[in-house]
Amino acid sequence: MIVAADSIEADALRLRHEFLSLPGLQLTIPQIARLLDLRLEHAEGLVSDLVDEGFFIRAVDGTCRCAESHVW
């Protein structure tokens, strides 16, 4: 049986994919929202979750990038 992922999980997967596919990518939350066609609040929640997991690092200037452990 195939089960579809919740939209939140699918959005997080898409976001991880973008950053893993483009090493060195740094985006702000508004840019992430635009890239994935998400509401700003939803993008903020995704980024917050990924920072808590240690996948993202959020810089003082507001840009997000992959943590060093996730860069090839």
Question: What's the pLDDT tens digit per position in 17-52?
Answer: 999 999 899 999 999 999 999 999 999 999 999 999
The β-bridge relationship of strands 64-66 and 56-58 is: antiparallel
Residue with tokens 């980024």: 47
Average pLDDT, the chain: 88
Outline where the chain has alpha helix (H).
Answer: 7-21, 29-36, 40-53
Cα distance between the two ends of the chain: 34
Q: How confident is the model at residue 9 (pLDDT cuts 50, 70, 90)?
A: confident
Cut 0.85: pTM above it: no
Q: Which residue has the higher pLDDT, 13 or 71?
A: 13
CATH number for region 7-70: 1.10.10.10
With a cut of 60, say whether residue 5 has pLDDT above it: no
Measuring CA to CA, which residue among 69, 72, 70, 61 is closest to residue 27? 61
